[in-house]
Amino acid sequence: MPKYKVVITARSFGESSDEPFNILKGNDCEVVKIPADRPLSAEELIPLVKDADALIVGNDKVTEDVINAGKKLKVISRYGVGYDNVDLNAAKKKGIVVTNTPNANNNSVADLVIGLMLVLARNLLAVDRIVKSGGWKRIMGTEIYGKTLGIIGLGKIGKGVAKRAKGFDMNVLCYDVYPDLKFSEEYGVTYCSFEELLKQSDIVTIHVPLTPETKGLIGERELGMMKPTAFLINTSRGGIVDERALYNALANKKIAGAALDVMEQEPPINSPLLQLDNVVITSHIGGYTCEAITNMGIVAAKNVVLVLNKKQGAHIVNGE
């Protein structure tokens, strides 16, 4: 009989490979995959964790009540990089380890950013709709080649975007509180102030975690600094961009367009942004590729096994 019970609510866990499941089953774990088509609420999670030793979650709401309900819970393995949906303090109080899967989806997110740049610059979705409705109207776009790209947050994903942007001979500006001067020199990236980046960039892309400091980082003031021809891309976290301010900026043509892979509320059922033609909204697909799903699943499973067996090497985010 398996020694541990692992409850999995991360929707895409194991979709592209059986290896993550095999890692768990090969290490004395009973695996219970919850068939959900959306992130679960705290109320839905509470009965699921009562007898679980480990929980592998996506963007589900792991609140203090959920953590307290897990009487045997030893590890919460976040299937992804961000962990703002997990109450780290409550977990730490209960002696529950929280882990994540850094670097597993870097390439997938960076690829998506480049794709969204092209979609915005060439009005690809609008043209597609015209043709499919029987028309053949052309909409004039703009090139991204040689333009100025502003990257807010030059971590692993931001660096991936910078490398790809150099293939378009873009002038890359970046803002980060921890500058990597070696990288900037090697790839010709220029560090500058936050305000200067907003004012000079033709495209601004966000790659910072959601924290109390970054919540509402892009609001009315910041959008007002951007060029009227500029595009904003957010594949990081909903809440970093003030959606009401963004709606006003887009509706009043203060900026040319935006692409959002993340929203404050997902799905954004009642968001006024859905009514605008100059915004592209995707369903949090930044890390949703075969390669990223496999990588995240393997790392998330290994994190569980390492913590349950009291071994070193797990990617712990709530340690000292």
- Nearest C-alpha neighbor of 90 from the set 42, 38, 33: 42
User: Per residue in 258-282, pLDDT tens?
Assistant: 999 999 999 999 999 999 999 999 9
Active-site position among 207, 237, 243, 315: 237
Percent of the chain with pLDDT over 70: 100
- Nearest C-alpha neighbor of 235 from the set 117, 79, 58: 117
Mean per-residue pLDDT, 63-75: 97
What CATH code would you report for 4-104+289-309?
3.40.50.720
- Nearest C-alpha neighbor of 81 from the set 317, 320, 318, 319: 317
Residue corresponding to tokens 């490398």: 163
Query: Burial of 22 by CB count in 10 Å (0-12 exposed, 13-18 middle, 19+ buried)?
Result: middle
Active-site position among 266, 291, 315, 320: 266
What is the model's pLDDT at position 190?
A: 98
Active-site position among 11, 78, 207, 284: 284
pLDDT band at 208 (very low <50, low <70, confident <90, very high): very high
User: Per residue in 125-151, pLDDT tens?
Assistant: 999 999 999 999 999 999 999 999 999
Which architecture does CATH list for 143-281?
A: 3-Layer(aba) Sandwich (3.40)
Q: Is position 138 annotated as part of the catalytic site?
A: no
- Asked if the model's pLDDT at residue 1 lies above 90, the reply is no
pLDDT band at 319 (very low <50, low <70, confident <90, very high): confident
Distance CA 244, CA 248 (A): 6
- Asked if the model's pLDDT at residue 19 lies above 90, the reply is yes
- pTM of the complete model: 0.90
Half-sphere exposure of 27 (CA within 13 A, CB side): 19
What is the model's pLDDT at position 320?
A: 59
User: What are the structure tokens assigned to 244, written together?
Assistant: 């009401």
Q: Where are the domains of the chain?
A: 4-104+289-309, 143-281
Q: Is position 284 annotated as part of the catalytic site?
A: yes
* Type and span of the H or E element at 119: helix 106-122
Same fold, 4-104+289-309 and 143-281: yes
